Amino acid sequence: MTKMKLGVEEYIDSAHYLPGHESCGIVHGHTYKVEVVLEGEKKSSGMVIDFYDVKQTVRSTLKEYDHCMLNEILEYPSSENLCEHIYNRLSQQLDFPLSVKVWEGHGKWCQLSGIE
């Protein structure tokens, strides 16, 4: 069978500050775009996994981060730490190799991938 990749995008709005950082050490917010890509084989159903199921899992996971102060979740809420935190949560819930890419506003992103 051939492996396929499929992905979804969701958005969260969160506030944070980076302790000790010269410009980002004050409370500010971002709209984060979170891209999740799964890899798997197409099943007899004709799908790797139903997009609805992926979206529900991603949305449920991202609720923790939406409209909150990220410093209450992460000691140092950099894009890298946020990406890793989301990746770890989703990899426990989705039984597929996956990749998570977190965009902090426009033009800045971090990606963690378990897909080769």
Query: What is the b/e burial string over 63-79, where b = at least 16 CB atoms within 10 angstroms of the residue's CB?
Result: eebeeeebbeeeeebbb
| 17 CB-near residues (< 8 Å, 6+ apart) | 24, 25, 26, 27, 28, 71, 77
Residue indicated by tokens 């944070």:
16
Which one of the listed residues 28, 64, 67, 80 is annotated catalytic?
67
Active site residue 110: no
Question: Contact 25/17 with Cβ under 8 angstroms?
Answer: yes
Q: Which amino acid is at 33?
A: K
Catalytic annotation, pick one of 10, 24, 68, 84 = 24
Q: Mark whether 24 is an active-site residue.
A: yes
Catalytic residue among 16, 39, 85, 104: 104
Active site residue 104: yes
Active-site residues, by number, are: 24, 67, 104
